Amino acid sequence: DAGVIQSPRHEVTEMGQEVTLRCKPISGHNSLFWYRQTMMRGLELLIYFNNNVPIDDSGMPEDRFSAKMPNASFSTLKIQPSEPRDSAVYFCASSLRRTGITEAFFGQGTRLTVV
């Protein structure tokens, strides 16, 4: 397996534009996580899915953020409209929930810059 695949790797956009980040989890994994990493806030859990169903989106900072997982092999995180303070590295991770073995595998991240 190629691991968790995120796209794009880098995104530069103007304030007010819509941004869509994409994630392909590892085949067979049943949990998917979206994180945001900044120097100030560290690694924040934004939302996570189990069997394609959103479980907890309390970490999503504002209504401008939304996430979907239409099937087991694809998820998106959308920011509309984007603002400069959304600039961060966004990570997607997936795991297979099994008794006692729940390590997460991370993608390489998407570095978002909103100007």
Site string (75-114) toward another protein, x via CB under 8 A: ----------------x-x-x-x--xxxxxxxxxx-----
Cβ of residue 16: shortest distance to another protein, in angstroms?
A: 28
For 42, 91, 94, 105, the CA distances from 8, given in Å and listed in that order, are 21, 11, 18, 18
Calpha distance 74→62 (Å, rounded): 22
Options 7, 13, 31, 87; binder of another protein; rule CB under 8 A: 31
Q: Which residues are near another protein by CB under 8 A?
A: 4, 31, 33, 35, 42-45, 48, 50, 55-56, 91, 93, 95, 97, 100-109
